[in-house]
Amino acid sequence: MSTIFSKIINKEIPADIVYESENILAFRDINPQAPVHILIIPKIEIPKVTNIYGKEHAVLLGEMIDAANKLAKEMNIADDGFRLVFNCGNHGGQEVYHLHMHLLGGRKMKWPPG
Ligand code: 5GP
């Protein structure tokens, strides 16, 4: 089932897009939890991590990591470090069922997460 992220991909609703390629899109989270909080998503509809299959999606996942590294460098958070997060399902705290990787940085993260 399509989510609000499909509307962002199709430019039906606005988002602060920071990177786009044929396969992926990255935009600022509407409710940022850190000075840098970007969502990196595939354009194809994959609901969550349990729908990822290594052989099928390895290149796509690699492209998402490459985009995170590129954006982290551009936003000057690469040297201090950052966090990449996939929330999966109810206990994982997932709200939007279109696969997304959070890129969080610009402050020291806590561990364990809440
Ligand atoms: P999840 O909890 O599913 O891992 O994360 C979903 C994220 O999407 C949340 O951090 C939330 O703030 C963000 N989000 C939800 N709706 C929108 C939207 O319409 N635009 C943007 N830019 N972010 C959104």
Q: Closest Cα to atom 20, ligand 1: which residue? A: 30
The average pLDDT across 82-108 equals 98
Any atom of ligand 1 within 6 Å of the Cβ of 12: no
Q: Is 87 in the pocket of ligand 1 (CB under 6 A)?
A: yes
- All domains in the chain, ordered by first residue: 4-105 (3.30.428.10)
HEC string for the chain: CCCHHHHHHCCCCCCCEEEECCCEEEEECCCCCCCEEEEEEECCCCCCHHHCCHHHHHHHHHHHHHHHHHHHHHCCCCCCCEEEECCCHHHHCCCCCCCCEEEEECCCCCCCCC
Q: pLDDT tens-digit profile of 2-59? A: 999 999 999 999 999 999 999 999 999 999 999 999 999 999 999 999 999 999 999 9
Distance CA(51)–CA(88), nearest Å, equals 10
pLDDT tens-digit series, residues 43-81: 999 999 999 999 999 999 999 999 999 999 999 999 999
Residue 1: per-residue pLDDT: 80
pTM of the model: 0.98
Q: Is 96 in the pocket of ligand 1 (CB under 6 A)?
A: yes
Looking at ligand 1, which atom is closest to the CA of residue 16? 22
